[in-house]
Amino acid sequence: MPQTFLDTGVPAAVMTFNVKNGMNVISWARRRSLLASVIRKERPLLVGTQEAYRYQLTYLQDQLPRYAAIGDTRHSLPEDEYSAILVDTSRVTVGESGTNWLSPTPDVRGSKFEGEHFPRIMTWAICDIHEFDRPLMVANTHLTYESAWIDAQIEVLLAQIERHAPAGIDILLTGDFNSPTHSNAWHTVRAAGFIDAMDFAERVGPLLTAHDWRGVGNPDSRADTLDDRIDWIMYRPGDGVTLPRDCVLETIETRNDRGYPSDHFPVVLRNTTL
């Protein structure tokens, strides 16, 4: 029996990717094909996306027809931002799924903490991986950059995961947490039983993930430190012990002559079968 969905003996990966909303001065039309190609190359079972608008998700689904997008928008309006989960429907079947708002009223569409500029959300799904013998829960989020509300949002996020997670299930948590590794937010998630993939997988690529279109290695780049590692993949084993084996966690630096696909590097956790 496979220990985790990454131990099935077939190629498997999961990704978190802040794709940057298409309204940015860096033209979506110039970078979209590269963004799709990064996902295509990695063949992830699941992609936790952040900041995508419907037209961006539609483009990705047109280019990657095996993938379906799950989730609602921040204001529950089609034109607003999603924290959608892309699912490879050729290898994954989705059961229950939903979106909750990181607010005092998580089921109220568009709700937020008083004083916040924008609602923040989590999208979750219970998935059957076709080569795996038990269900997996995936949760994906994009937390605020306003530090006053991060702790409150983390509390709601964790409470909603507990609310929707069947007992004993493995849980995968992806997202742009707008907080660095070893921050209070990171420690709170760790205290809830989640293990950062960088703590059990071989790490490849830069430490930072939010590179602001500069990448690394040039005079204008941010320092390649944990201070800008805000895109995480976390894993909570259903039995509290068993973690994926022989895995690689890569921060992907792919670019072309037009630049980078996003102002965040995508992060992928893959087994060594790939």
DSSP string, 221-265: SPPSSGGG--EEEEEE-TTSS----SEEEEE----BTTB-SSSB-
CB proximity list for 24: less than 8 A, separation 6 or greater:
263
Q: What is the pLDDT of residue 205?
A: 98
Contact between 51 and 111 (Cβ < 8 Å): no
- Tell me the residue ranges of DSSP E strands in 44-135: 46-50, 67-70, 85-88, 92-101, 121-129
Q: What is the pLDDT of residue 214?
A: 94
End-to-end alpha-carbon separation of the chain, Å?
20
pLDDT in tens, 246-269: 999 999 999 999 999 999 999 999
pLDDT in tens, 77-127: 778 899 999 999 999 999 999 999 999 999 999 999 999 999 999 999 999
Contact between 151 and 157 (Cβ < 8 Å): no
Q: What is the pLDDT of residue 77?
A: 79
When pLDDT is cut at 50, 70 and 90, the band that residue 62 belongs to is very high
Which range has the worst mean pLDDT, 19-28, 84-93, 152-161, 192-201? Answer: 19-28
Q: Model's pTM, two decimal places?
A: 0.96
Tell whether the model's pLDDT for residue 26 goes beyond 70: no
pLDDT in tens, 169-184: 999 999 999 999 999 9
For the chain, domains (ranges, CATH) are 5-271 (3.60.10.10)
Q: What is the pLDDT of residue 27?
A: 83
Q: What is the Cα–Cα distance from 199 to 111, expressed in whole angstroms?
A: 34
Q: What is the pLDDT of residue 188?
A: 98
Q: What is the pLDDT of residue 100?
A: 98
When pLDDT is cut at 50, 70 and 90, the band that residue 49 belongs to is very high
Average pLDDT over residues 140-159: 96
Q: What is the Cα–Cα distance from 228 to 169, expressed in whole angstroms?
A: 31
pLDDT in tens, 198-234: 999 999 999 999 999 999 988 899 999 999 999 999 9
Q: What is the pLDDT of residue 76?
A: 79
Tell whether the model's pLDDT for residue 1 goes beyond 70: no
Tell whether the model's pLDDT for residue 25 goes beyond 60: no
Which token pair is 233?
């993949």
- Proportion of the chain above pLDDT 70, given as a percent: 98
Average pLDDT of the chain is 95
Strands of the sheet with 46-50, listed across from one edge:
67-70, 85-88, 46-50, 13-18, 267-271, 247-251, 202-204
